[in-house]
Amino acid sequence: MTVYFCLALVVTFSVLLYFVGTAVYNLFLHPLAKIPGPWLPALTPWYEVYFDCIVKGGGQYPFHIKKLHEKYGPIIRPTPNEVHISDPSYLDTIYAIRNRNAAVAKGLNVDSSLAGAEDFHLHRVRREAMNPYFSPQAILKLQHLFTEKKDECAAVLNAASCSGIALNISDLFFAYSNDIVRSFSFGSDSALLKDLQEAKRQRKNLARLLTGIHLQRHFTAFFRFMGQVVPLVLGAPILPPAVVDLIRFKEQTGKDIETILADKENTGKIGHSVFYELRDSAILPPEEKTATRLQDEATLLVMAGTESTAKSLGIATFYILHQPEILSKLREELRVARLQAGPELPLARLLALPYLSAAMQEANRLSFGVTNRLNRYSPKEALAYTAPSGPAKGTEYVLPPKTHMATLILCTHTDESLFPNPWRFDPERWIASDTNSTEEVNWRKRCMTALGKGHRRCIGVNVANAAMSLVLAELTKFDLKLFETDESDVKFQFDFQVSHARMDSKGIQVLVEGLHQQ
């Protein structure tokens, strides 16, 4: 028996022992071993990879987790080191001030952004520096920016009315959202509203890029290495268009940040610019103002601000046109408001309209925000959870410190105890009435997590609300008709960090038949 053969035996036995030992530990000795659920996800993270990357082309694990809850009850173990709790009453515990797993940011390669801050102390510093520029008062002062872009949308709708050609309103909303968030961030934009073909190209490439996000999240090191090596060895032409777009976008964002950092006299500052303010922030230490750090922040802000607002606008528009009674109620509410305040309603007045606000809230609910699990964990504190239903009803489970825990937005937003007929677009569920008590409405609002919850709630919520309210109010001035578009073009069917409808969807298309006659 040679030395090499003996060495091979030792290595083989060691590897086998490692896998057997890991399996025994995960299934029987792990602190989470008593958590209900099937044995395979408790054994290996490859179970999650299978549903994230293979089943139906990927993006199916949230739907599978929801099915597991139907069988095993409100608490399950979706991976060896994590619990998932589908129970609205436990949301406040999960979303308390805690650390968060930063895997989501790693999948997008924005590690040093606000979302990439795993430690809640670091997150608080970054958040406090940005809060003043995203407050309701700050957004109201920027009505001119939103109004200018809303008027450009109206011009596109008028042009589509004259041409008689179907308008892809998904492209319009992508351009509108992108122009706003770039203007808000840098003081200038890419003028996508003037080039909807470029908006279409960027929208489709972003969607293609996001379909690979689970592969990047599960195999982060490999994809980052390949992202560095492939362009150098084989050249950029071999890269998919979506990846080329991302590289180009990050390079441009990096140049924008470098320009701001070098502009000590503020000669290039035109109007509002979040990153000029962050550069001069007294809250951020010097290491938080580096070009790389601010580039990550800008990348996430522009991508998330564009995608989330455009998606919610698309969902709202589809259902408003699909359910004419909603459109009638919106028009009546806006008609009365305009009689009282004039034809051009101030942003503050628009945001206070109950039915318009309810329609926006319902669109956000059915957008499902970040569709993957956003794990939280308590660094030092053990937590307890008692199952209120299911096969293990009444059983108390102790979750040791650093246990990763989450509640999928899908599970909360389709919980029939919260939202009867959950897949129906129904703004009335957000308005108190004789059949819908104030307590019920307030409880739904507390459980609404599409834009996050607690101290990590989406920082751009006020920007999104302003952008949505103005353009939805403008749309009611036109007679629009859905064209070759149905519910499968907006309904959540795939989790690629954000909700995706059917893979071959062209987006939401409409015919603009002209201005609405009162």
Q: Which residues are annotated as a binding site?
A: 458
Helix H or strand E segment including 298: helix 291-322
Are the C-beta atoms of 447 and 430 separated by less than 8 Å? no
Residue 425 CA to residue 52 CA, distance in Å, equals: 27
User: What SS3 state is found at 515?
Assistant: strand
Lookup: tokens for 310: 């455009």
User: What SS3 state is found at 51?
Assistant: helix
Residue 323 CA to residue 490 CA, distance in Å, equals: 14
Q: Output the DSSP codes for 244-279.
A: HHHHHHHHHHHHHHHHHHH-TT-TT--S--HHHHHH
Around Cβ 218, how many Cβ atoms within 10 Å? 17
Residue 81 CA to residue 51 CA, distance in Å, equals: 17
Q: Cα 496–504–302 angle (5° rounding)?
A: 45
Residue 14 CA to residue 332 CA, distance in Å, equals: 73
Lookup: tokens for 448: 């609404």
Helix H or strand E segment including 340: helix 324-341
Minimal CA–CA distance to 80: which of 51, 46, 119, 118? 46
Residue 385: strand pairing partners: 397
φ and ψ of 370, to 5 deg: -80, 115
In terms of C-beta density within 10 A (0-12 exposed, 13-18 middle, 19 or more buried), how is residue 79 classed?
buried
Secondary structure (H, E, C), 85-104: ECCHHHHHHHCCCCEECCHH
Residue 244: strand pairing partners: none
φ and ψ of 515, to 5 deg: -70, 140
Give the annotated binding-site residues for heme.
458
Q: Cα 260–261–262 angle (5° rounding)?
A: 90
Radius of gyration (C-alpha) of the chain in whole angstroms: 24
Residue 87: strand pairing partners: none
Q: Which letter, b or e, does each residue of 455-469 get, where b requires 16 or more Cβ atoms within 10 Å of its Cβ?
A: ebebbbbbbbbbbbb
Residue pointed to by tokens 């959870």: 385
Q: What is the DSSP letter of 26?
A: I
**Dihedral angle computed from the Cα positions of residues 220, 221, 222 and 226, in that order, rounded to the nearest 10 degrees:** 100
Lookup: tokens for 130: 């940005």
Residue 359 CA to residue 471 CA, distance in Å, equals: 13
